[in-house]
Each structure stands twice: as C-alpha cells, then as structure tokens.
Amino acid sequence: MSLVGKPAPSFKLEGYHHGEFVTVSQEDLHGKWVLLLFYPLDFTFVCPTEVLAFSDDAKAFKDRNCEIFGISVDSKFTHKAWVETEKDKGGLGGSLAFPLLSDLTRHTARDYGVMMEEAGVALRGLFLLNPEGVVVHETTNFLPVGRSSKEALRTLKAFQFVAVHGGDVCPANWDEGHDAMVATPEGMASYLAGH
C-alpha cells in the first residue's frame, strides 16, 4: 500500500556520518525536505553505485533544504567499515556526504513497505518527505536495478515548485526553467497547444 499523501512513519535510527556514530529521528527533520534512500546491503554491487551517485549530488539536494539518509539492515559498525574502505576494495572511499542509518530490527523497512522478508533485506525504496513530514513521492525498484539521483533531484524540484506555486502542476519531464501548467481545462489546453 502506498504511503504517498500520508504522514511518514516515524523512526529513530543510529548510523554513521563523518567519522562519528549519530542518531537520527524523523521528528527531528520537521521543516526540511527529506529523501530516504533504502538499499539492500553494504559491500554489495549496485548499492555503492547508488550511494555514491547520491553523495555526488548531495550538495544540490542540501542547497534545496533537502537532507538525504541512506538506510539498510546493516549495523552502524558495518556502515563505518564500508565508508572507510577504499573503493578498489568494494568500499565508499573514506567519505560520504550523508549519513548511513542502521535498521537492524527491520522495523523501519517494514513501516515503509520495502522489507523483503524472505531475503532479509530492503528493496531499493526512495521516499521524499515534505517539510510537514508527509510522503509526497515514493518509488521502489527490485534489487538488480539502481535509481537515478538526477531523477530524484528533478522530482524534488517539481514538488518544491508546486508547493510554492499553488494551482500549478508539473507536466511530464518538467524540470526547473520549463513551463508548468495551470490545473484547469483551459490551462491544460493552453499548455498542450504551446508544446
């Protein structure tokens, strides 16, 4: 069942970030846009490509008041080891722009509907929360296919645009600087006629 349009399930998770163990709770993030990046496991194959891609784009998210958090069923100690391991040995190379959180109990993955019970890991779930803590976007991939940080950033821009421009909607493939559409029959007709 989709969480879109509903308050995000609360969580309080320990993790690792910038050489320290941290604790992050969903309630502490009120007033910010939040991107939750669930992934199966540290030290695997597609996962580091995703985590590093989102890390590379983290400044663009942060510039838009959006915090990113990676979440897997690994321990905070495994996260530390993965971050600190060199890339040529399957690690993340010593630095990551956002925290990796530990969902050892798997409660958070279950609450967000991405837990694969038979495999014991989370699917590749991506959840965007608005500053009020409501889920406005979710997407879930099966394990073999990674997600795009560029598309997640475009989606964030679109939701931020409509949050500011009440009555406007973002058509397919909308990106910053493109025309939006007024959500009326006339607005739709005008948009389609011009595109």
Angstrom distances, CA of residue 16 to CA of 20, 28, 85, 94: 6, 17, 14, 12
Q: How many helices (H) and strands (E) does the chain have?
A: 6, 11
Q: Identify the pLDDT of residue 1.
A: 85
Annotation says 47 is catalytic: yes
Q: What is the pLDDT along the chain (195 residues), one digit of tens a residue?
A: 899 999 999 999 999 999 999 999 999 999 999 999 999 999 999 999 999 999 999 999 999 999 999 999 999 999 999 999 999 999 999 999 999 999 999 999 999 999 999 999 999 999 999 999 999 999 999 999 999 999 999 999 999 999 999 889 999 999 999 999 999 999 999 999 999
Query: CA 16, CA 75: separation in Å to the nearest integer?
Result: 9
Catalytic residue among 8, 35, 37, 47: 47
pTM, full prediction? 0.96
Q: Which architecture, in CATH terms, is 12-147?
A: 3-Layer(aba) Sandwich (3.40)
